[in-house]
Amino acid sequence: MKITSIEYIKAAPRWDDGPRDGLPEVAVIGRSNVGKSSLINLLLGRKMAYVAKTPGKTQLIQYFLINRSFYLVDLPGYGYAKVGKKTRNAWGSMIDAYMTKRKTLCAVGLLIDIRRPDSPLDFQMNAWLNHHEIPAFYMVTKGDKIAKGKRQACVDAIQTAYGMTEMIMTSALKKEGKREVWKKIEKMILKKGEGLI
């Protein structure tokens, strides 16, 4: 996919506060501090998503318009964050509502830290996506944290644990996986039958 234009549209506090133009959406989600904002910045080719060392900084649903034909959506991270329980519960309800009620959602990209193949929260999110029959694809983040010769063994362990057949290796630091992720996003949108890229 050739990226010709990127526009930051808005940050929405509710699932129904997003754009209403009917364009398809592909959302990205992962555990807090999994490297989601860094990956989004890699995909966009510029620093548009806020990156912080403290987990839980993404608190709203953020919309980026790509090629004026679809949205890349940054969802709040789940799990640990230095915020109150009430706020964390609100995020959970917001994410749940977005992914089950947003009619323009085509697919969700789930991020998994290569160093944490057995995170209970990631298992729960994967099971939730499967239960709701939400089309999903999977990306391994922070590939640079593992020696190249040991990466495949880590990916194999994750695939076995989750019962997955395909994962995309990424590293925002090494700028790896960008082309593969965009290719997968294009495929997911076309599979949904939109054909708008």
Domains defined along the chain, listed by start: 6-191 (3.40.50.300)
Q: Return the pLDDT at 91.
A: 66
Instruction: Select from 188, 89, 177 the least CA-distant residue to 140.
Output: 177
Q: Return the pLDDT at 55.
A: 46
Q: Return the pLDDT at 193.
A: 65
pTM, to two decimals: 0.87
To the nearest 10°, report the CA torsion of 92, 194, 141, 93: 0
**Single-letter residue type at 36:** K
Helices and strands, number each (H, E), in the chain: 5, 7
In 3-state terms, what secondary structure has residue 124? helix
Q: Return the pLDDT at 50.
A: 52
Please, which residues have CB within 8 angstroms of residue 12's CB and are 6 or more apart in sequence? Answer: 18, 60, 61, 62, 63
Low-confidence ranges of the chain (pLDDT < 70): 49-58, 80-91, 193-197
In 3-state terms, what secondary structure has residue 25? strand
Residue 58, phi then psi, degrees to nearest 5: -80, 105
* Cβ atoms 133, 160 nearer than 8 A: no
CA distances from 133 to 79, 90, 99 (A): 22, 23, 10
User: What is the distance between the alpha carbons of residues 73 and 65, in angstroms, rounded to a whole number?
Assistant: 9
